[in-house]
Amino acid sequence: MKRKVTKAVFPVAGLGTRFLPATKSVPKEIMTLVDKPLIQYAIDEARAAGITEFIFVTSRGKSALEDYFDNAPELEAELQRKGKTDLMNVLETTNMDSGAIAYIRQHKPMGLGHAVWCARRLVGDEPFAVILPDDVIAAEKPCLAQMVEAYEETGGCMVAAMRVPEEKASAYGILDAASDGIERKIPVKGMVEKPPLGEAPSNLAVIGRYILTPDVMNTLHRGKVGAGGEVQLTDAIAAEIMEGRPVHGYRFEGERFDCGSKAGFLQATVSFALSRSDLRDELAHFLNEIVPVARAAE
């Protein structure tokens, strides 16, 4: 019988240098997409998938993350005094029960695989999810919830996948898929991290959602260095395939935004704002006015 996925690892130790100077004092994960920080979108997605234990792999200077999920008694008392129940309800979604979140440090920036390995003692012998908050996915059913349903049928490891243009494949982990059809669950024959241009085995790229078995931790424990001189999570998952254990790509339903880049963050901001009834009309009016001006200036 497959064990349920109830733990999720959030690698949030990165410095966010692409967003300097903002990230000099504010962790990238706290930057707001409309009116919620990136990390809140990730937590909400995890909760919707049945996750009850949240493991943050952090680094120096990330204390704002811990404060964000803590209670704010003075703020709550002020909102209550003013009768602002709607805001009280919003604030409630940011609070986490005592013991629900664990924080561990990644002392050296040695790659995503190393960050996940740092959580090994908290993961134990259970399957677990990994969520990269930089990848924000707008979907009717949250991406991780889709994957958990599929995992109940397949077991093994599962990675979220989407098609990317051939010229961009070198920026991703790419699947060597056993099928290139239209099915959602795709058996994987191999994985390549950031293949050179023209050498990618497919155009199916790994996106920042994973369901992994504890066996992956054993491979990561070896600390083998891969692309970019870092310990790559992709390499550890590929080793599962070599050992004869199942790995599937999952072509999720939804739109992914790369909020680790400025352009992607701005695109997500516009898209999410346009999906909001309280913002849509005013923003759409502004865009309709400014887009012709921008085109004329080109």
Structure tokens at 295: 């085109």
Within a domain: residue 293?
no
Predicted confidence at residue 149, as pLDDT, reads: 94
**Mean per-residue pLDDT for 220-237?**
77
- Residue 260: partners with Cβ closer than 8 Å, 6 or more residues away: 18, 28, 134, 135
Q: Is the pLDDT of residue 129 over 70?
A: yes
Give how many domains the chain has, as a whole number.
1
Q: Is the pLDDT of residue 1 over 60?
A: no
Q: Which residues pair with 158 in a beta bridge?
A: 211, 248
Cα gap 170→288, rounded to integer Å: 35
Within a domain: residue 279?
no
Residues of the domain holding 206: 7-260
Provide the CATH number for the domain around residue 91: 3.90.550.10
Q: With contact defined as beta carbons under 8 Å apart, do 31 and 38 qualify?
A: yes
Q: What is the dihedral of CA 173, 174, 178, 179, to 10 degrees?
A: 120
Chain mean pLDDT for the chain: 88
Length of the chain: 298
Q: With contact defined as beta carbons under 8 Å apart, do 127 and 212 qualify?
A: yes
Q: What is this structure's pTM?
A: 0.90
Within a domain: residue 152?
yes
Per-residue pLDDT tens digits for 13-47? 888 889 889 888 888 999 999 999 999 999 999 99
Within a domain: residue 29?
yes
Within a domain: residue 283?
no
- Count of alpha carbons within 13 Å of 85, Cβ hemisphere only? 0
Within a domain: residue 289?
no
| Band (228; pLDDT cuts 50, 70, 90) | low
Within a domain: residue 287?
no
Within a domain: residue 296?
no
